């Protein structure tokens, strides 16, 4: 079996500790250490609200963006929490994610969900 070269990390938890001590750390290091060629973080659900309110997590997102991590967020969720513009201002691509996630799953991406 071919080695997977693309990682999608789906972050849906509103728990800041989960974000900072696992999700963000692993996502950033996956890119910095070339564990995967393509690394994507998808902000989904209540994590979008947490990110819009927490400056430490926003700084970490900026670090990931600078390292080349692809940043996306679910538009339906961001709209539900009223934070789509905040996420866009951080450099997160806000779009409807149902179809893109389906494509990633069918295209053999490694996926992690938190």
The pTM (predicted TM-score) of the whole model is 0.95
The answer to the question of residue 93 being in a domain is yes
The answer to whether residue 44 is domain-embedded is yes
Question: For the chain, what is the domain count?
Answer: 1
Whole-number Å distance between alpha carbons of 33 and 48: 26
Percent of the chain with pLDDT over 70: 98
In a domain, 49, yes or no: yes
Domain that includes residue 69, residue range: 40-114
Task: Give residue-wise pLDDT tens across range 58-94.
Answer: 999 999 999 999 999 999 999 999 999 999 999 999 9
Domain annotation covers residue 26: no
Structure tokens at 48: 């979008």
Torsion of CA 38, 44, 49, 50, to 10 degrees: -60
DSSP-derived secondary structure for 48-84: HHHHHH-HHHHHHHHHHHHHT-EEEEEHHHHHHHT-H
> Is residue 31 included in any domain, yes or no?
no
Look up residue 103 and give its two tokens. Answer: 């494509």
CATH of the domain at 114: 3.40.1260.10
In a domain, 24, yes or no: no
């Amino acid at each position: 079996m071919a080695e997977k070269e693309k990682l999608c990390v789906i972050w849906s938890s509103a728990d800041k500790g989960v974000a900072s001590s696992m999700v963000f750390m692993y996502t950033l290091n996956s890119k910095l250490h070339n564990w995967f060629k393509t690394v994507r973080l998808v902000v989904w659900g209540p994590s979008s609200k947490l990110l819009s309110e927490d400056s430490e997590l926003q700084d970490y997102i900026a670090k990931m963006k600078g390292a080349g991590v692809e940043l996306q967020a679910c538009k339906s969720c961001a709209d539900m929490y009223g934070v789509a513009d905040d996420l866009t201002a951080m450099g997160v691509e806000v779009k409807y994610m149902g179809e893109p996630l389906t494509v990633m799953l069918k295209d053999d991406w490694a996926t992690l969900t938190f």
